[in-house]
Structure 1
Amino acid sequence: MNWNTILIRYGEISLKGKNKSKFIRKLKANIKAALSDLGTVTMRAERDRMFIYTEKPEELDRAIEILPSIFGIQSFSPIVICAPTLEDIKETSLKVLGKTETAGKTFKVDVKRADKRFPLNTGELQQELGGHVLRVFPDLIVQMKKPEILLYVEIQHEAAYISSHTYKGAGGMPVGSNGHSLLLLSGGIDSPVAGYMMMKRGVSFDAIHFASPPFTSDLAIEKVEDIVRQLTKFGAVIRLHVIPFTELQQTIVKQVPSNLSMTTTRRMMMKVAEQVRKDTNSLGLITGDSLGQVASQTLESITAINEVTNTPILRPLIAMDKLEIIQIAEKIGTYDISIRPYDDCCTVFTPPSNKTKPQVEKVAYYESFQEFDDMVAEVASQRVTTIPSKQTKEDFEDLL
């Protein structure tokens, strides 16, 4: 008996209609990329499931470690394939359970009979298999709800699939199946979580980071690179655009009253991001805003910031509190990176007080005394673009 196959079950993809094949192709491509280091892996996609085959047990184990982070998978199971006959199913079921610690464990048989020609109906087969298993493994305890061991048997026309363990997938939609956007990535706790949440909804993205050397350090950029590397594990290659923001930010501080400078800073970031969005053929902008968390995230501030662009701004964290965001950051592995003590450009230029209800007309009035649009175009054109998963900090030396 060889454990060389994984059965993948789709999530929301199963609800799709005529365009279902598009989502399946994207999921297959994402899985293939994630498992690219496993040399013997092959794949086969069907309308309602997908199979991964490997010739090496260690590659099967590695695939099991990787698959839970790939969006679009509802669940998956290592399976053994046998002929769809009662005797073969019985024999294979015993072999599968023989690889599992059974003493004192609760147990249930779950049967899916897709091939209605099978001589026993679902209930009859469950009883037959359950009795057969208990005669060989008498220490097992039958339990219908939440058993420790679930022997799953699926009977198709061409074969029967048998497993004793089901792993939970990440759910959501395959990354890249719902368009491409641009993530404003500060390096704090919130924006990486915002990126993760949009990936779960099938959105791929580039990331844009604003650096203000020498006030911000190369360690701050390293932190952002590491965040991008961590997010890449969830199924997409992410390009990082680093914007040299020092001169523009210093001009804002000189030109705009301090209590409005943060609002103008955010507006200029949106303008720069809008230029990069066009250059990268992105459809939207993603931010980590959570309503009311800080002065720049009140409804009035958001209105003032939105005024500079007509592009859809996606704010997946808008109704979440900080503790919820932190819990997700810890779960996805970005929290410990985000709390590294390296200031970003907003932190180092934070004014003593910020307007929580800025008036758009007043902000625009102070901005009118400076040709900000020319500066926006210039810094956007000077950006440094890399793929952090393939680059090192030396690539940013010219910027710093």
Structure 2
Amino acid sequence: MLPDGIVIRLGELTLKGRNRHRFEHKIVKDIRRVTRAFSKIVMEQQFGRVYVTLNGEPYEGVAQELKKVFGLSSFSPVYYTESELDTIRSKALSLLTSESVKPGTFKVTVRRADKNFPYDSQEMNRLVGGYILQAVPGLKVDVHRPDVDIRVELREDRAFVYSKMVEGTGGFPLGTNGKALLMLSGGIDSPVAGWLAMKQGLELEAIHFHSYPYTSERSQEKVKDLVRKLAEYAGPVTLHMVPFTEIQTRLVQDYNDNLLITIMRRTMFRIAEQIAGSCGAMAIVTGESLGQVASQTLPSLHAIGQSVSIPVLQPLIFTDKQDIITIAEQIGTYPISILPHEDCCTVFLPPSPSTNPNLKVVQAIERSLPWLPELIEQTVQQTEAIQVGPGEPDRFENLF
């Protein structure tokens, strides 16, 4: 049977407190955005739920897009019928017998939104369940762990019958917890960190540091492709492309020792902080996972993080690498991340980067580089802002 519609349940976090209406409005807006290609669907919003009538649009296609909406708890394909006992029984029986694997146990769960319906929820549970038991020999009722849970929603104009529950992405509606700037490399970790940040309700802009011609133009395209993948969940995302070549070459000329990466990362953070201030972002999001590389030991994270005054959010800090890869595969960034294009840090990596930098020593070295603050300001001014969207041409923006 082809579903007539979809019932969408909003997450519990979304429904709490005085922000409920704002959260619901944002989720409905995001549902409309991801399903805009399906022009025939009709949406209706009620407390804690959104009802979608497909009007012939493919359920599988719409369902795939709904998995990109943050704040959704779950959704179900639903079948419509007249709000009348016999037709509800018939539809419920058809749904159960259409299961690909014959169930041994079932239960019926009725939700009576229409209080004028002649039977209450408990009576309907018995009336529908008893009808199915008589029609299917050997079938048993299990109210705790049934093979199939036939759900019926009684509404004024019609009834909904369904049995499948598809888990949603969860989290908070996109943008309801503020805005942050994602430091995006071409690797596996930072796109996953960005996705997790969006799941927690952060609107994102992204920043990437490139060292052309030491890094290729294709490495920049790779980063745009990663942003394009994240934009499937967020809509168009602004990507700030920072020309980092001059700063890196000057650093290598004046100080090419084991604290080079620490100083480079502190410089990146300072630039990111200025860009964040210009675009209204209140935090920086990074893809660090504790202990993965030299710049991600606790002393390194401390020394690098002290370079800025805004919060640095690290969603992956205690996450195992395989778990990060699993999420990257799920959200579609992994095949892009493993393409063999270098980033600016690997090109200028010293032979033995320090894993235990002393902050006072790092600060003393920076004071011996009087040209650095001015070059940071020049680099910020030369940064290029590009709006990247899913399936859309890139659009250049003026930041300053």
Whether TM exceeds 0.5 here: the answer is yes
Structure 2 match to 1:196: 195
Separation in structure 2 between the aligned mates of residue 194 and residue 79 of structure 1, nearest angstrom: 34
C-alpha contact (below 8 Å) 2:235/2:390 kept by paired residues: no
C-alpha contact (below 8 Å) 2:242/2:383 kept by paired residues: yes
Separation in structure 2 between the aligned mates of residue 185 and residue 266 of structure 1, nearest angstrom: 13
Structure 1 residue runs of 5 or longer lacking an equivalent are none
1:279 aligns with 2:278: yes
Q: How does 1:63-102 map to 2 (within 5 A)?
A: 63-97=62-96, 100-101=99-100
C-alpha contact (below 8 Å) 1:102/1:139 kept by paired residues: no
Question: 1:157: how far off?
Answer: 5.3
Structure 2 match to 1:22: 22
C-alpha contact (below 8 Å) 2:104/2:147 kept by paired residues: yes
Separation in structure 2 between the aligned mates of residue 84 and residue 16 of structure 1, nearest angstrom: 31
Aligned residue identity for 2:12: E
C-alpha contact (below 8 Å) 1:255/1:370 kept by paired residues: no
Separation in structure 1 between the aligned mates of residue 76 and residue 209 of structure 2, nearest angstrom: 43
Deviates more, 1:203-212 or 1:120-129: 120-129
Cα root mean square deviation, aligned: 2.5
Deviations 1:86-111 (A, max 9, x none): 33422332454465446456533222
Aligned residue identity for 1:373: P
C-alpha contact (below 8 Å) 1:174/1:202 kept by paired residues: yes
C-alpha contact (below 8 Å) 1:301/1:356 kept by paired residues: yes
Q: How does 1:261-300 map to 2 (within 5 A)?
A: 261-300=260-299
Structure 2 match to 1:182: 181
Separation in structure 2 between the aligned mates of residue 12 and residue 217 of structure 1, nearest angstrom: 46
Deviates more, 1:143-152 or 1:43-52: 143-152
Q: How does 1:103-252 map to 2 (within 5 A)?
A: 103=102, 106-115=105-114, 118-138=117-137, 142-156=141-155, 159-252=158-251
**Paired residue secondary structure (2:220):** helix
1:260 aligns with 2:272: no
**Paired residue secondary structure (1:87):** helix
Deviates more, 1:8-17 or 1:270-279: 8-17
Separation in structure 2 between the aligned mates of residue 291 and residue 252 of structure 1, nearest angstrom: 26
**Paired residue secondary structure (1:69):** coil
Aligned residue identity for 1:266: R
Q: Residues 86, 31 of structure 1: CA spacing in aligned structure 2 closer, same or farther, 3 A cutoff?
A: same
Question: 1:270: how far off?
Answer: 0.4
Aligned residue identity for 1:87: D
TM (norm. structure 2) is: 0.90
Q: Residues 136, 10 of structure 1: CA spacing in aligned structure 2 closer, same or farther, 3 A cutoff?
A: same
C-alpha contact (below 8 Å) 1:31/1:235 kept by paired residues: no
Question: 1:325: how far off?
Answer: 1.4
1:37 aligns with 2:41: no
Separation in structure 2 between the aligned mates of residue 393 and residue 78 of structure 1, nearest angstrom: 34
Q: Percent identity?
A: 39
Question: 1:164: how far off?
Answer: 2.5
**Paired residue secondary structure (2:234):** coil
Q: Residues 6, 104 of structure 1: CA spacing in aligned structure 2 closer, same or farther, 3 A cutoff?
A: closer
Deviates more, 1:148-157 or 1:241-250: 148-157
C-alpha contact (below 8 Å) 1:4/1:56 kept by paired residues: yes
C-alpha contact (below 8 Å) 2:70/2:173 kept by paired residues: yes
Deviates more, 1:361-370 or 1:266-275: 361-370
Question: 1:393: how far off?
Answer: 9.6
Question: 1:152: how far off?
Answer: 0.9
C-alpha contact (below 8 Å) 1:255/1:366 kept by paired residues: no
Deviations 1:316-373 (A, max 9, x none): 1111122221221122221221111111001111111112221222111111223212
TM (norm. structure 1) is: 0.90
Q: Residues 135, 235 of structure 1: CA spacing in aligned structure 2 closer, same or farther, 3 A cutoff?
A: farther
C-alpha contact (below 8 Å) 1:102/1:140 kept by paired residues: no
Structure 1 match to 2:306: 307
Structure 1 match to 2:318: 319
Aligned residue identity for 1:386: I
Question: 1:303: how far off?
Answer: 1.6
Question: 1:390: how far off?
Answer: 6.0
Structure 1 match to 2:11: 11
**Paired residue secondary structure (1:18):** coil
Question: 1:119: how far off?
Answer: 4.6
**Paired residue secondary structure (2:258):** helix
Question: 1:312: how far off?
Answer: 1.0
Question: 1:162: how far off?
Answer: 1.4
Q: Residues 102, 139 of structure 1: CA spacing in aligned structure 2 closer, same or farther, 3 A cutoff?
A: farther
Aligned residue identity for 2:31: I
**Paired residue secondary structure (1:52):** strand
C-alpha contact (below 8 Å) 2:35/2:62 kept by paired residues: yes
Separation in structure 2 between the aligned mates of residue 334 and residue 85 of structure 1, nearest angstrom: 48
Separation in structure 2 between the aligned mates of residue 391 and residue 376 of structure 1, nearest angstrom: 34
**Paired residue secondary structure (1:258):** coil
Aligned residue identity for 1:30: D
C-alpha contact (below 8 Å) 2:297/2:356 kept by paired residues: yes
**Paired residue secondary structure (2:78):** strand
Separation in structure 2 between the aligned mates of residue 393 and residue 268 of structure 1, nearest angstrom: 31
Separation in structure 1 between the aligned mates of residue 52 and residue 394 of structure 2, nearest angstrom: 38
Structure 1 match to 2:380: 380
Aligned residue identity for 1:184: M
Structure 2 residue runs of 5 or longer lacking an equivalent are none
Question: 1:384: how far off?
Answer: 2.2
